[in-house]
Amino acid sequence: MLQPSTSMAGAWRSADDFFSVNVTVEVEEVPRYRSVATMIPEWHNEAHCRTQDKSVFFGSSSPEERPAYTLSSIREARTICASCPVFNECLKYAIYNREDYGLWAGTTMRQRRELFHRIDAKELTAQDVVDALSRRSHG
């Protein structure tokens, strides 16, 4: 790729010449997590899944034990999700962070992929999905 030279009108120089100029770039320091535990959203402390077998929500961790999900594990997870006090927070997290793997707020990865496809096609917004699937509080 050639770039016009600033020193000679009408002359061209190579991209290597262009990028060999010394430029000082200030880099903003990114805060580091103190531990993996600090990456977990605070609402997760109240989630019913927190004390359950993770394979119910994320399938088998061993490739030899596929499929990742079974219908019985999906039913079990949905039962747990149905009474979870942070269902709506979990749903928002899964939709807004585009969680592609695992069962979140009773939705499977296949269901969310379809929703993400519809969001990308501008048929729905993420908020439309959250509004439609959120458990309404009655009170």
Instruction: List Cβ neighbours of 57 (8 Å cut-off, separation of 6 or more).
Output: 49, 77, 102, 103, 104
60 belongs to a structural domain:
yes
4 belongs to a structural domain:
no
61 belongs to a structural domain:
yes
5 belongs to a structural domain:
no
Residue 133 has pLDDT above 60, yes or no: yes
Whole-angstrom CA distances from 89 to 43, 75, 84, 106, 135 are 7, 20, 10, 12, 10
Say how many C-beta atoms besides its own lie within 10 A of residue 121's C-beta.
8
Residue 121 has pLDDT above 90, yes or no: yes
Regarding predicted confidence, which is higher, 68 or 1? 68
110 belongs to a structural domain:
yes
Tens digits of per-residue pLDDT, 18-59?
A: 555 555 556 566 555 555 556 678 888 999 999 998 888 887
Please count the structural domains in the chain.
Answer: 1
Percentage of residues of the chain with pLDDT beyond 70: 63
Domain of 130 in residue numbering reads as 55-139
